[in-house]
Structure 1
Amino acid sequence: MKEILNGKNKLILSIPLFFLAACSTNKYAATNKVYKEQAKVFGNTLKEMPPLSQNVEMIAPDQQFFIGSVNFGIRKPNFVIIHHTAQTSTDQTIKTFTLKSTQTSAHYVVGRDGKVVHMVNDYLRANHAGVAKWGNETDLNSCSLGIELDNNGDEPYSDAQINSLISLLTTLKKKYNIPVQGFIGHSDIAPKRKIDPNKFPWKKLAEQGFGLWYDDILQIPPPEFDATVALRIIGYDISNMPAAIIAFKRHFVQTDISPVLTLSDNMILFNLYRKYM
């Protein structure tokens, strides 16, 4: 009988130990809990009828009403912004994105080994773009998905990483009907302060339908061609032309990123300008 009880006690003791071990295997359990709590707050906000703090202050309360329409949906992204992490590992980036003090995040992180970590629901706004502009859009965080590539900014991107990125982009493009020209880099939207993703194979992505690229055969632009207008049409912020030129060349030229457009650069720009028209 004593042996049976001892065995039973061992079994009972093993149960909490098992659960403790299971919990300890997820080192991000605490931050996952915070994520869930924040998402719940947003969900409750959406369910409020009438919506909180959305009344028109200059109109009397008895002259405005809320009646729920049956025709609405969740906002969808129009752009995908690609970054490099400028860090040394996926774990380091995950830690950065799970610390409140950093105030930064991305929807996805793609590791050097090709593993993909989803960190923010696609329908939520991640803090990845910062102060940026593309065309007339000045709040890129609200209309884009951010993808971080585990890369220090000065190393080649592995085949496994690029293959996983293409698979991810294929899914996102189909799911949200993102246009070809909607796949851009952080340096494109923030040319005065960002260089990522540096030394990135944009041509390879364009060949898969993610972003535009110039044709193999180019022509000299006509005398009236205005490079400033062309850069603006493509989407670049031309308030600082040298920065815009560098960003354009970082994306499409790469062998020379000086703030001056050569004849060859102008031929590339003219070709792309006509695609964006």
Structure 2
Amino acid sequence: MAARDEEFEPPNDTVERLGECLRRRRKAAGLSLSGLARKVNYSRGYLSKVETGRAPGNIQLAERCDEALGTGGALAKLARTQPRDPHPPERTEPRDPAREAPLGLPRQRRRDVATSQHRTDEPFAEAELPVSSGTAVAFMLALDEAHNALRAVARADLPPSARRDPANDVLHDARVYALRERLLVLGTVPLVSAAEAAFLRLIAVRDAIRTGARLEEAAYHQVYHPFAEALWTFRMALRADLGQSPLTPDAIGRRDWSDRERCRDCEQQGFPSA
């Protein structure tokens, strides 16, 4: 009787159950979204949409997830009872027709958007930005997300031997490496140069945290503040790439871009600069 109830329940409920079932099975298997995405060759963003009910998924995806998670066909069974996905599934390297460029952009910039078939696949996938700039924005957000996740690793109070894998996974889960590769191909020289500087500073933060640095210690602050400065410099390069007026630290109430003047630990303990 339970099987018949599942088969004939309304489509919206089925879509929701498929996503919830996928999330539950994935977590039970100890896989992150990025880890499952690599196994089934679908993008992390698309899997997230399926899990949250924003996309219904499809049988092919469900079958691959069944195989990767060892669920014995449970996901495929749910997928067969739902409506067909009206949107093309997003694979690891999704391609969609580019949107119309805003009229305010220079002519060459509009042509870049109109002729490109790439997209960033992350928060700015729907934004009407030139492809290189959209990728740069996504990379900037990924750097910030990865840094916040690294801080969470440091707060977990793990010994260095238990920090290495979580610290390494942070950059993969935030898609830092994938977006970096895309930006290296698509970005202008000033944009790539600023992005690479911020990336290398983030790597220094990761290395310090995975070898045992605590957030209140000098070892962390000596790598964090150069990263903060490099990330702000990258933001300013992105503004310039988009034709926006430059910002100075003073314009937004800062002494510089390093965040040192706002750092309580540096003020109280007098940590030396890197």
Q: TM-score, normalised by structure 1?
A: 0.30
Q: Where is the helix percentage greater, Structure 1 or Structure 2?
A: 2
The higher radius of gyration belongs to 1
Which is bigger in relative contact order (C-alpha 8 A, separation at least 6)? 1
